[in-house]
Structure formats: structure tokens, C-alpha cells
Homo-oligomer: A and B are copies of this chain.
Amino acid sequence: MKIYGDSNSGNCLKVKWVCDKLAVPYRWIEIDTGKGETRTPQFLRMNGAGQVPTVEFDDGRALAQSNAIIRYLARDSALVPRDAFVAAKMDEWLFWEQYSHEPYIAVCRFQLVYLGKNVSDLDPEKVKRGHAALDRMDSHLVTSRFFAGDMISLADVSLLAYTRLAHEGGFELGRYAAVRRWIGETEAYLGLPPAR
């Protein structure tokens, strides 16, 4: 299996982390989206959305969307709860991550780190919604160790990707103690060095 990914993208790293944790063999193909490498005819045949991560299996079939990829690769592992309702709660967080977290936390980071903007240039609405996402996570994690059920799941892996880098987007985590506790536990589970 090949993973087409950008090492700076949390969405892409989710796929790497799941493969590493589950010992799924892969070849990482580094993609530079800034050079149009996701818009070539060859790439668009794999993923018409022209986005990374995209994985290509040895039989030529391809799959895109970070959370769909990790859900497929981890389908028979401990990262997907066996109980159907707990798995549904995991899915609830996965969809929430893409709709209410990534578009604010990851996009602000992208603008600061890769477009060279200053914090004062950020869209205040995006900053507000990013803090709302962190507030919600922190409230949940005050009473729950992880996001879906009692065990770590793909919901934690997915939410970790950009939350651990939130400070790079101007979101300081000082006031989010439960989030910081959870980041440490989830990083340790995945064998990642602390992001900061």
C-alpha cells in the first residue's frame, strides 16, 4: 500500500500513525500540494477531489478522506469499538472533527505557519470557533478519559492530529487542562514524542 501524503498535514499523519500502531506495511509518497502534485491527471484518477491523504492499494484501488481511510484500515482492530453504539459515538466525533474542528484549528495553523500570516490577520470568526471546539473537547475530557467509550479509539487519533499542534495556529492550550492530559496520553499510546 502507498500513502500519498504531506508530512506537515495532520490529516495525513493520522493515516501514518494508524499504520504504524497496527503494523500495516506502507510506502510513504511525499506530496507537495503547493507544486500541484495533487492536480495531475494521474493523481486525480485516484482521488477526484485532488487531496491528500490518499492511499493506493496493491491492486490499484484507492481511498481518500483521512477519517474514511483510518476507519477502513483499523476496522478489525481495537481502535474501532466493538459495540455498535460506541462505534457510532466514535463516528460522531470523526464527523465533528472534520466539520467543527479542522476548518478552524487546522486552517488557522496553515495560515500562520505556511502562509506567513500573523495572529492579528486571522479571521476572528475562525478563532472563535476554534476556541469553541477546544472548549467542547475540554468539557468532555473533564469527565471522560477518551472520546468514545472507555478506550482509545480513532476518535482520539483523529482529534489528536491538529489539537496537539493547536498552538501553532494561535490557540494556546494553557486553559485546557483536560485536553493537555488527553494529548499526553494519546501521544504516549501512539508512541509519538510530545508535540511541545
Quick one: which of B49, B63, B91, B140 contacts A88, CB cutoff 8 A?
A: B63
User: Beyond A63-B88, A89-B63, A95-B98, is A139–B68 a contact (Cβ under 8 Å)?
Assistant: no
Quick one: which of B72, B94, B102, B136 contacts A68, CB cutoff 8 A?
A: B94
On chain B, the residues within 8 Å of A94 by CB distance are 68, 95
On chain B, the residues within 8 Å of A85 by CB distance are 61, 63, 72
Whether, in the assembled complex, A118 has its beta carbon less than 8 Å from a beta carbon of chain B, the answer is: no
Q: Chain A: residues with CB nearer than 8 A to chain B?
A: 48-49, 61, 63-69, 71-72, 75, 84-85, 87-89, 91-92, 94-96, 98-100, 102-103, 136, 139-140
Contact check, B140 vs A48: say whether CB atoms are below 8 A apart: yes
On chain B, the residues within 8 Å of A92 by CB distance are 63-65, 68-69
Alpha-carbon distance between A88 and B85 when the two chains are bound, in angstroms:
19
Contact check, A91 vs B75: say whether CB atoms are below 8 A apart: no
Query: Copies of this chain, how many?
Result: 2
Q: How far is the CB of A101 from chain B (nearest CB, A)?
A: 10
Contact check, B100 vs A84: say whether CB atoms are below 8 A apart: no
Alpha-carbon distance between A89 and B91 when the two chains are bound, in angstroms:
15
Contact check, A95 vs B68: say whether CB atoms are below 8 A apart: yes
User: Beyond A48-B136, A49-B136, is A88–B100 a contact (Cβ under 8 Å)?
Assistant: no
On chain B, the residues within 8 Å of A48 by CB distance are 136, 139-140
On chain B, the residues within 8 Å of A100 by CB distance are 49
On chain B, the residues within 8 Å of A65 by CB distance are 91-92, 95-96, 99
Q: How far is the CB of A11 from chain B (nearest CB, A)?
A: 10
Closest to A48 in B: B136
Given contacts A48-B140, A72-B88, A99-B99, 14 further A-B contacts (CB under 8 A): A48-B139, A49-B100, A61-B85, A63-B88, A65-B92, A67-B91, A67-B95, A68-B88, A68-B89, A68-B92, A69-B92, A71-B91, A95-B95, A99-B102
